[in-house]
């Protein structure tokens, strides 16, 4: 059952259909909040999310549930494609986060209203 759920998640993500896989969202939240993995909390506060980090360098994350998944993925993978002077590191391009981890972060970000 777990493999079918993962396949469904990947298929839905690839097709642009919103799909709430709670395991993927939880994994993304962990990456977002964990200093040794994504450490997003070091720079970003997030609307409605209790954070343990300062979140003052980057913009406050809000309204991300309305963003297309691919736009969020691209922003995390390599923010320089849309903003060449971004202070955010290219997590995917530099190999800091895997494709799966970025998709998990995107699933979590889509929960931020």
Let me know the angle formed at the C-alpha of 88 by 40 and 14, rounded to the nearest 5 degrees. 75
Position 91 scores a pLDDT of 96
Mean of per-residue pLDDT scores for the chain: 83
Q: Can you name the residues that pair with 46 across neighbouring β-strands?
A: 61
What are the residue boundaries of the structural domains of the chain, listed by start?
21-109
Quote the pTM value.
0.77
Regarding predicted confidence, which is higher, 28 or 60?
28
CATH fold label, 21-109: Cytochrome Bc1 Complex; Chain D, domain 2 (1.10.760)
Regarding predicted confidence, which is higher, 62 or 6?
62
Position 57 scores a pLDDT of 83
Residue 108 pLDDT more than 80? Answer: yes
Cβ atoms of 103 and 32 within 8 Å: the answer is: no
Could you tell me the two tokens for 19? 């799909």
Residue 34 pLDDT more than 80? Answer: yes
Position 11 scores a pLDDT of 47
């Amino acid at each position: 059952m777990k493999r079918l759920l993962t396949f469904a998640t990947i298929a839905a993500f690839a097709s642009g259909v919103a799909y709430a896989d709670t395991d993927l969202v939880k994994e993304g939240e962990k990456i977002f909040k964990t200093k040794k993995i994504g450490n997003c909390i070091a720079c970003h506060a997030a609307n409605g999310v209790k954070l343990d980090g300062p979140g003052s360098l980057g913009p406050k994350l809000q309204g991300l549930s309305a963003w297309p998944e691919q736009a969020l993925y691209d922003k995390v993978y390599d923010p320089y494609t849309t903003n060449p002077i971004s202070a955010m590191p290219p997590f995917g391009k530099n190999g800091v986060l895997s494709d799966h981890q970025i998709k998990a972060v995107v699933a979590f970000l889509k929960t931020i209203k």
